Structure 1
């Protein structure tokens, strides 16, 4: 992901996976408006909870809260409470560029650098129906403006697999290394 840019995603797990890359690299990450944030799922993906700021329901102050997080964190995940207009997006875009931060929006965003969506998703694990899932593989579609969409495979660790190395996840990540 490029510093100063906004990325729109269509799934909470994809937003977590993008934030996990920065967290594994030692960066602080933040989540605003993510009322369904799952700490256990985040930790299993590699998000260091001790370096995570969570504002689950900023209410009508979501823009101010998000701007404050952008001022101090490398990556911020936002689920805006309503549709965002061009002017509001421009305010955050300017702040992102100034602070060299990245905004990952779960939902639509008028000025997104790229839009990422899950096209296919397959879990692996026990074949008999008992036990724990071990891995999730997904095909991610990346759309950037008028360019043809790009597709890449991404792998998430399953339950109790947070020890997966950053290098392994980078290898299949559509966004490249942090």
Structure 2
């Protein structure tokens, strides 16, 4: 059923196991090698805008590899809005929502990992036995699928967390929201071990993630030229001195 639904989206079948060359983006400094590699997983720390930004980044990387229309799927994310997904950069025509996968969620997730290059997973799925996780991880590696989890995910190559967030634009109770300014921290495991952080707009004014540009440094304007003025000789005939003020 899931396979037929995915085929019904009219997506071009991707060449599995490859992505485009890394392109500098707002999340590049937080990801191992500047991107989410095929067959790996990332955890978004419970932040939906961050989840969408990671998914959009993975979809864009697959698109740069010449996969045509890149399919993606969201499992267990009934709160995921279509407008937010589109603003983040996801093609709604290539997306598949499975809001409630039910008790057979491992089978549903397995089918999606085989069918689309990018899968988003919600935080409400039941606890995963080790044998189920190993089977899903093997499917990921075999098909080169990127999995982005809203919450924790066993074996995630990188874990990102929004450690500080504030909406900007509304002042004194009126005005328009410009975007949400956040600080994102990332930690990795294995070959990606380490930590990093970045200040981002998430989302920015256009709904997408963007780097926070440093504020320009104000350079003071030059003052009037100061000219030396003579000091009168003292009462005992000292030589004239010069002073600048």
Which TM-score band applies after superposition, normalised by the shorter structure? 0.7 to 0.9
SS in 2 for 1:138: strand
| Match for residue 108 of structure 2 among 52, 55, 65 | 65
Corresponding residue number in structure 1 for 2:195: 149
Q: Is the 8 A contact 1:86 1:110 kept in 2?
A: no
Q: In structure 2, do the counterparts of structure 1 residues 118 and 65 end up closer, same or farther at CA, with 3 Å as the change threshold?
A: same
1:21-40, Cα deviation, whole Å (9 max, x unpaired):
24454522110011211112
Q: Aligned equivalents of 2:199 and 2:119: distance in 1?
A: 23
Corresponding residue number in structure 1 for 2:57: 21
SS in 1 for 2:148: strand
Q: Is the 8 A contact 2:117 2:145 kept in 1?
A: yes
Give runs of ≥4 in structure 1 deviating > 6 Å: none
Q: Aligned equivalents of 2:146 and 2:130: distance in 1?
A: 18
1:22-61 equivalent positions in 2, closer than 5 A? 22-24=58-60, 25=63, 27-61=70-104
Q: Report whether the alignment pairs 1:108 with 2:152.
A: yes
Corresponding residue number in structure 2 for 1:176: none
Which structure is higher in strand share?
1
- Give the unaligned 5+ runs of structure 2: 1-35, 64-68, 213-245
Q: In structure 2, do the counterparts of structure 1 residues 152 and 158 end up closer, same or farther at CA, with 3 Å as the change threshold?
A: closer
RMSD: 2.3
- Larger CA deviation: 78-87 vs 145-154: 145-154
Higher relative contact order (CA 8 A, sep 6+): 1
Q: Report whether the alignment pairs 1:5 with 2:48.
A: no
- TM-score where L is the length of structure 2: 0.61
SS in 2 for 1:64: helix
1:40-96, Cα deviation, whole Å (9 max, x unpaired):
221222222111111111011211111111112111011251222322111111111
* Rg larger in structure: 2
- Give the unaligned 5+ runs of structure 1: 173-178
Q: Aligned equivalents of 2:149 and 2:140: distance in 1?
A: 13
Which structure is higher in helix share?
1
1:130-149 equivalent positions in 2, closer than 5 A? 130-145=174-189, 147-149=193-195
Q: Is the 8 A contact 1:134 1:157 kept in 2?
A: no
- TM-score where L is the length of structure 1: 0.81
Q: Using the TM superposition, give the Cα deviation of residue 149 of structure 1 relative to its aligned residue in structure 2, in angstroms.
A: 2.3
Q: Using the TM superposition, give the Cα deviation of residue 136 of structure 1 relative to its aligned residue in structure 2, in angstroms.
A: 2.0
